[in-house]
Amino acid sequence: MSNEEEQYPFLKKEIVKEENLVPLKYVCEEKAKQIEDDIEKEVELAEKMKDMTDPYRFAGYDPNIIDFIRRCDTEEQAVEIIVYLKKKGDISKSTAKDIKQQLSKAGLRSFGEKKQTGFYFQYED
């Protein structure tokens, strides 16, 4: 494999797919870089879009207390969640205490921006 082919793997694939094209060694380096960058961006975007449209991308994901708190509208709702998860045994007493302290000192959005609330219910079988 030539040096050009090693530098531009996406472009190499495109050229190999098509017959009767100019060999890669005759492509202007600046143009080759631009084409390679464009192809790489398209591939990355396609992969991201595929991930975003997959309804099962979070299959098996177990939301944690922070995920629930980020969906709260008020600090009172967050406290209810903390108390519930502590009572259920999903979080320890010390974790509950630490989260309540952060909530009272730094506020609800210190856990991150608000997440959409209906996410866990948006996909139906």
Q: What is the DSSP string of 10-39?
A: HHHHHHHHSSSPPPGGGS-HHHHHHHHHHH
Percent of the chain with pLDDT over 70: 60
How distant, in Å, are the alpha carbons of 43, 78, 107, 108, 113 from that of 99?
41, 9, 10, 10, 16
Classified as helix, coil or strand, 41 is helix
Q: What's the mean pLDDT in 76-87?
A: 94
Q: How confident is the model at residue 118 (pLDDT cuts 50, 70, 90)?
A: low
What is the model's pTM?
Answer: 0.50
Read off the pLDDT of residues 4-45 as tens digits, 9 standing for 90 and up. 556 766 666 665 555 555 555 555 667 667 777 777 888 787
Q: How confident is the model at residue 99 (pLDDT cuts 50, 70, 90)?
A: very high
The residue that leads in pLDDT, 116 or 66, is 66
Cβ-based burial of 16 (10 A; exposed 0-12, middle 13-18, buried ≥19) = exposed
As a whole number, the mean pLDDT across the chain is: 76
Q: What's the mean pLDDT in 111-120?
A: 74
